[in-house]
């Protein structure tokens, strides 16, 4: 049986972007699967699940950037906490196609896409894991 990149832990993959979000969620692999459908994510690397079904590290590529995920490990000082006061922002060239894919996948619309004072089209979403997302199409 051929082993896929998703099945084998390979931490020697390129990290894309300047500031990288590392998000703890309840169900890191479920979130990765959701982000594939909603945001076109690809899994660059992932640790296999432990005996409790938790994953300590998932590295995704989304829109030419990296996003890191893990499950909570309260016994090591990393409890699950509700996401607070941040949004992951995607700058895109075609907001309508990104928006449709995300809403078709089941994200909650927090703020519909609209023309903003800074000249961009912008909207906000919340995924089933509680993470806020903003999609921004800068003025061309």
- 2 pLDDT higher than 50: no
What's the pTM?
0.84
- Rounded Cα distance between 53 and 110, Å, is 31
- pLDDT tens for 92-138 read 999 999 999 999 999 999 999 999 998 899 999 999 999 999 999 98
Q: What is the CA radius of gyration of the chain?
A: 16
CA-wise closest residue to 133 among 26, 41, 16: 41
32-54 average pLDDT score: 96
- Rounded Cα distance between 121 and 27, Å, is 31
Instruction: Decide: residue 44, CB within 10 A, 0-12 exposed, 13-18 middle, 19+ buried.
Output: buried
Domains 1-81 and 88-137 share a fold: yes
- Rounded Cα distance between 67 and 85, Å, is 18
34-40 average pLDDT score: 98
Collapse the DSSP code of 35 into the 3-class scheme (helix H, G, I; strand E, B; otherwise coil) and give the result. helix
Mean pLDDT of the residues in the chain: 89
Please say whether the beta carbons of 101 and 95 come within 8 A: no
Domain ranges for the chain, please list them. 1-81, 88-137
Please say whether the beta carbons of 32 and 60 come within 8 A: yes
CATH number of the structural domain 1-81: 3.30.720
Say yes or no: domain 88-137 is CATH 3.40.50.150. no
- 1 pLDDT higher than 80: no
User: For residue 62, how far is the Cα from the chain centroid?
Assistant: 7
Residue showing tokens 């640790």: 47
């Amino acid at each position: 049986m051929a082993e896929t990149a998703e099945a084998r832990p390979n931490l020697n993959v390129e990290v894309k972007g300047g500031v990288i979000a590392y998000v703890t969620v309840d169900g890191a692999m479920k979130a990765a699967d959701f982000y594939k459908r909603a945001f076109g994510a690809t899994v660059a690397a992932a640790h296999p699940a432990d005996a409790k079904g938790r994953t300590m590290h998932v590295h995704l590529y989304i829109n030419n950037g990296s996003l890191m995920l893990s499950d909570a490990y309260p016994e090591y000082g990393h409890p699950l906490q509700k996401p607070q006061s941040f949004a992951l922002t995607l700058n895109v060239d075609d907001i309508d196609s990104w928006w449709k894919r995300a809403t078709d996948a089941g994200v909650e619309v927090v703020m519909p896409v609209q023309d903003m004072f800074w000249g961009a089209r912008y909207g906000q979403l919340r995924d089933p894991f509680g993470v806020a997302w903003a999609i921004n199409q800068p003025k061309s």
